[in-house]
Structure 1
Amino acid sequence: MSIYSPLPPEMIWEGWEDFKPVWQEIKVNGRILQVEMQGFNQARVVRLLSTDPADYLNSAYQPGCILSFSPQQSTTPGAINDNPPV
């Protein structure tokens, strides 16, 4: 990758080593999205993980979009952890 800039490389790449994004994969309407959480009930789409080309035409799943959702209880026992509910 080439970057043409009047700024010295030290200024351009300053803080790059400290950048550690926290991404999660979630399923939305049967599609897997890699997201960055923006709070308790919002996430910003980082990328769509799909083999269906039609999924990439849906603007709701494009990178940068904000998804709002409400957490749901999993119906699969032990899906979150292996401890059964008490």
Structure 2
Amino acid sequence: MLWSVVPEEFILENYDKQTYNWVEAEVNGVKMLVEPAEGQPGYGRIIRLLCPNPSNYLNPNYQPGQTICLHGGN
């Protein structure tokens, strides 16, 4: 739900035309959605976790926005 004085047409303009370079990756057994880092092959920025284990969401290494090595390290 969106409450705003700005007309909906302006807020959602080109919303359906946005593209993302996100990929699914599994790092240390944790499945996540990652945006590959520009200029840093093998690294990416975590967008969101896709795993069902609640303890992974409490791990600061897997917070959205963190840069992670896609080959198993942090």
TM-score tier by shorter-chain length is 0.7 to 0.9
> Where in structure 2 are the equivalents of 1:36-51 lying within 5 Å?
36-41=35-40, 42-51=43-52
- Unaligned 5+ residue runs, structure 2? none
> Where in structure 2 are the equivalents of 1:1-86 lying within 5 Å?
2-41=1-40, 42-67=43-68, 69=69
- Unaligned 5+ residue runs, structure 1? 72-86
Q: Which amino acid aligns with 2:13?
A: E
Report how many residues are paired.
70
- Relative to the length of structure 2, the TM-score reads 0.74
What's the % identity of the aligned pairs?
35
| Structure whose alpha-carbon radius of gyration is higher | 1
- Relative to the length of structure 1, the TM-score reads 0.66
Which one scores higher on RCO, CA 8 angstroms, separation ≥ 6?
2
